[in-house]
C-alpha cells in the first residue's frame, strides 16, 4: 500500500470515528434534555461550528500520529511530494464527492418539501457529508489502483 | 482509467539507459515512483510537459517514448 492509499484509509477511519463519537455525545445530551434539537435550530449551528473545530483539531493530531507511525514502520521520513498524477486523482475524487454531496442535499430538500421534520435536514447534512468524504477517499484509492 | 490508445517504451528505454531504476527516472522527472509505475503499466497518460521531460531524460524524440494507436482510440469520447 502506498503512502497516499494509507493516508486515505486513515482519513476515512478518522472521519467515521470523529463523527460517530461527536454524534453520540450530542445525542446523549439531547436525550438528557440539555438541549432539544427538534426545536432549537440555532443550537444546530453552534454544534456544527464546534464539530468543525473538533474535527480539524482531531484530524491534525491523527495525521501527525500517522506520519510518525509510518516513518517508524517504513523508515521513510520524507513525505512524498504531490505530483501531477496525485493532483488529477484528488481532483477526480473531489468531483465524485461533490456529486454525492449535491445528490444527498437535493434528496434532503425533497424530503423537507414532502413534510420531513426540519431537524432531519441537519442530520442528513452530517450523514451526506460523511458519505461524501468516504466517497472522496475511496475514489482516490480506486484511481490510484486502477489508474486515472 | 487505462488509456490503451497511448502505449510507451519506458521500460525498454530504462533498460537501454544503463538499467535505470524507476526511482532514478522518477527523481529525474520530478514525479513519484508510483507515477512512473502507472505510466509504464498504461494506467496513466502523463501531461505533455511530463512526456517531453521523459523524452528529454532519455535523449530521444517523444514518439520514441510514447506511441499512439488510433485503433484503440476508436469510439472513445474526448
- Tens of pLDDT, residue by residue over A49-81, are 999 999 999 999 999 999 999 999 988 878 888
In a domain, B77, yes or no: no
Helix axes B22-29, B33-41, angle to 10 degrees: 110
**Chain B residue with minimal CA distance to A3?**
B34
Q: Reduced to 3 states, what is the DSSP secondary structure of residue B7? A: strand
B interface test, pick of A3, A5, A74, A85 with most B CB neighbours within 10 Å: A85
Are β-strands B66-68 and B6-8 bridged in parallel, bridged antiparallel, or unpaired? antiparallel
In a domain, B76, yes or no: no
A interface test, pick of B37, B40, B44, B46 with most A CB neighbours within 10 Å: B44
Closest CA to A26 of A43, A7, A10: A43
- Which one of B31, B42, B43 has the shortest CB-CB distance to A83? B31
CATH number of the domain bearing residue B41: 1.10.260.40
CB distance A148–B31 less than 8 Å? no
Q: What is the mean pLDDT of residues B2-12?
A: 82
CB distance A147–B41 less than 8 Å? yes
Burial A32-50 (b: 16+ CB within 10 A, else e): eeebebeeeeebbeebeee
Task: Tell me which residue has cell 439531547.
Answer: A30
Where are the domains positioned within chain A?
Answer: 3-146
- Rounded to two decimals, the pTM is 0.85
Query: Is B67 within 8 Å of chain A by CB?
Result: no
In a domain, B15, yes or no: yes
| Three cell numbers, residue A109 | 430538500
- Tens of pLDDT, residue by residue over A74-112, are 888 788 889 999 999 999 999 999 999 999 999 999 999
- Which one of B1, B42, B47 has the shortest CB-CB distance to A84? B47
Confidence of residue B1 (pLDDT cuts 50, 70, 90): very low
In a domain, B71, yes or no: no
Task: Write the ipTM.
Answer: 0.83
Task: Tell me which residue has cell 475514489.
Answer: A139
| Three cell numbers, residue B37 | 509505475
Query: What is the extent of the structural domain holding B39?
Result: 6-60
Give chain B's domain count: 1
In a domain, B37, yes or no: yes
In a domain, B69, yes or no: no
Cβ atoms A147, B2 nearer than 8 A: yes
Distance CA A78, CA A8 (A): 18
- Tens of pLDDT, residue by residue over A112-132, are 999 999 999 999 999 999 999
Amino acid at each position: 500500500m502506498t503512502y497516499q492509499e494509507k493516508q486515505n484509509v486513515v482519513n476515512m477511519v478518522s472521519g467515521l470515528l470523529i463523527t460517530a463519537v461527536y454524534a453520540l455525545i450530542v445525542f446523549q445530551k439531547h436525550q438528557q434534555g440539555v438541549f432539544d434539537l427538534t426545536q432549537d435550530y440555532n443550537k444546530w449551528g453552534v454544534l456544527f461550528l464546534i464539530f468543525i473545530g473538533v474535527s480539524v483539531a482531531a484530524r491534525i493530531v491523527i495525521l501527525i500520529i500517522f506520519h510518525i507511525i509510518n516513518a517508524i514502520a517504513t523508515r521513510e521520513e520524507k513525505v512524498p511530494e504531490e505530483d501531477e498524477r496525485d493532483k488529477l486523482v484528488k481532483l477526480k475524487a473531489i468531483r465524485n464527492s461533490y456529486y454525492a454531496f449535491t445528490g444527498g442535499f437535493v434528496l434532503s430538500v425533497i424530503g423537507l418539501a414532502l413534510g420531513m421534520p426540519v431537524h432531519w435536514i441537519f442530520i442528513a447534512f452530517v450523514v451526506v457529508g460523511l458519505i461524501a468524504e468516504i466517497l472522496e477517499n475511496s475514489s482516490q484509492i480506486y484511481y490510484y489502483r486502477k489508474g486515472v | 482509467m487505462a488509456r490503451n490508445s497511448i502505449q510507451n517504451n519506458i521500460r525498454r528505454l530504462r533498460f537501454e539507459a544503463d538499467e535505470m531504476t524507476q526511482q532514478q527516472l522518477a527523481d529525474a522527472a520530478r514525479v513519484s515512483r508510483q507515477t512512473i509505475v502507472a505510466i509504464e503499466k498504461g494506467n496513466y497518460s502523463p501531461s505533455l510537459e511530463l512526456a517531453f521531460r521523459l523524452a528529454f531524460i532519455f535523449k530521444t524524440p517523444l514518439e520514441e517514448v510514447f506511441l499512439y494507436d488510433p485503433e484503440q482510440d476508436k469510439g472513445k469520447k474526448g
